[in-house]
Chains A and B, each alone.
Chain A
């Protein structure tokens, strides 16, 4: 094993001294407050800039970025519901097929597919051990 160069030894010595202080610093309440203030300031600056540009676009009767974001969020929510229903439907379709060999009534009608009325699919309840 070759010995590390002098500059590296010096760095390592400095690192050993600095590391505990730096680790302590990032765990202080002041650091937490600083981080929070910085993040909130960034968010505020961003939303203010968006507000100004949105007003400008609206004056021209054009949609602003925030309008597009809102639409994207709504489409995203819809996309999620469709995805969840599709997954749930897939599971329901597989379940009767998997149960068929052991089923007592092989001609029984399979479960109806979800009609999409409710966004939350049915769940299996948590089974608690007896006496718990």
Chain B
């Protein structure tokens, strides 16, 4: 009994301390801390090269990130980082970060990213690494950009493509997406004065997916507020899930028209830069990783992808995880990342062999 009282008193003291810290915004965990260099920049877009003295595999990896969220989810905290694990496995890792779009990016279309920035980043990676090809990894909507790039540039020097939590059936992206898809709402109804879709709209779209979960997360926080580790993880994870970037207006219009209303990835009605693009033109070795408890990109939105690409060497990995759980947390560390690493390693050369050839 006495132990229980003592424990409760201790917990309440810690709860008060952590509550004050949370409210004050103090002690925020450092995110995206893995050392890196900016090796190419154009507009808000940057190509990051993570430092690694122990590169054992070639070609290098280029990670293409989503347009609507921040890339530090892939390098959340030391010890809980997708990038860190790739580096430890001996890969040379580059990440294409789109930055925070402003009014100068309002006219950016999907072609800007798929036909200009990604090829430029690919060229820079090859130039810097001295290799003739690279391996591409796309996360969430970044996976769609990587897919469109691979389909529109079948001769690009990409050895294999891995996409994570990448939607192709846009009918299953939740209530707000449905409102746009049905034509009840247009992008022009939500763009801000800069001409972009503000991050609050994107955030509301995600929150509408699981309306009760929003309350539950605060209830759980209150229950576990005494636990320093939980609070640190909460700050890092929810910090990211609430931290979106504006979606460039023109790209958003194109996404709504081509991907939401036409459901173009699934129905094979994709046009980029005047060219018809087909996912069956993606013929390079391919891995799609999807999370079965993903409420942001539900499994119904990701599952058809494996049948749409034309690769002979294609694989699908369905994991019991949530959207973020694919890249951070225990499931990621134990299952997702090792499986991705294994897929990539099998399609890579060791550095000695690559340099000899």
Give a binary string over B155-198; 1 marks a CB under 8 Å from any A CB, 0 the rest: 10000000000000000001110110010110011100111000
Nearest CB of B to A81, in Å: 9
Give chain A residues whose Cβ lies under 8 Å from the Cβ of B209. Answer: 26
Q: Is the CB of B280 within 8 A of A33?
A: no
Q: Is the CB of B275 within 8 A of A32?
A: no
| B247: min CB distance to chain A, Å | 15
> Is B208 located at the chain interface by the 8 A CB criterion?
yes
Tell me the bound Cα distance from A33 to B281 in angstroms.
39
Contacts of B215 in A (CB 8 A): 15
A120 to B281, CA, bound (A): 23
- B223 lies within 8 A of A8 (CB): yes
A126 and B120: CB pair below 8 A?
Answer: no
Known: A80-B105, A80-B112, A88-B116. A129 touches B175 (CB 8 A): no
Q: Within 8 Å of chain B (Cβ to Cβ): is A61? A: no
- Whether A15 lies near B184 (C-beta < 8 A) is no
Interface size on B, residues (CB 8 A): 55
Instruction: Using A23-B210, A76-B105 as known contacts, say yes or no to A43 and B277 having CB atoms under 8 A apart.
Output: no
Which residues from B are CB-within-8-Å of A98? 123, 126-127
Residue from B116, B120, B175 in contact with A26 in the complex, judged by beta carbons closer than 8 Å: B175
Q: A83 is contacted by which of B43, B208, B223 (Cβ under 8 Å)?
A: B43
Near B by CB (< 8 A), chain A positions 54-80 give 65, 69, 72-73, 75-77, 79-80
Judging by beta carbons under 8 Å apart, are B152 and A26 in contact?
A: no
List the B side residues contacting A43 at CB < 8 Å.
188-190
Chain A proximity of B184: nearest CB distance (Å): 4
In this complex, the member of A11, A31, A69, A80 whose beta carbon has the largest number of chain B beta carbons within 10 angstroms is: A80
**B244 at interface, CB cutoff 8 A:** no
| Contact residues on A (Cβ < 8 Å of other chain), bracket | 35 or more
Q: How far is the CA of A125 from the CA of B155 in the complex (A)?
A: 10
How far is B209's CA from A25's CA once the two chains are assembled, in angstroms?
A: 11
Given A26-B211, A121-B116, the answer on whether A80 and B178 have CB atoms closer than 8 Å is no
Question: Given A76-B103, A126-B276, A129-B283 in contact, is the A31-B175 Cβ separation under 8 Å?
Answer: yes
Q: Determine the chain B residues whose CB is within 8 A of the CB of A11 once the complex forms.
A: 216, 219
Given A32-B182, A88-B116, CB of A76 within 8 Å of CB of B152 = no
Q: Evaluate contact between B107 and A77: CB separation under 8 angstroms.
A: yes
Query: How near does chain A come to B177, taking the closest CB pair, in angstroms?
Result: 11
Let me know if B104 and A76 touch, CB within 8 A.
Answer: yes
A-B contact pairs, 17 of them (CB 8 A): A11-B219, A32-B175, A35-B184, A43-B188, A43-B189, A72-B103, A76-B104, A79-B43, A80-B105, A83-B43, A91-B120, A95-B123, A98-B123, A98-B126, A123-B275, A124-B155, A129-B283
Q: 9 new A-B pairs (CB below 8 Å) besides A80-B107, A121-B115, A123-B273?
A: A11-B216, A26-B175, A35-B179, A43-B190, A76-B106, A79-B104, A98-B123, A98-B127, A126-B152
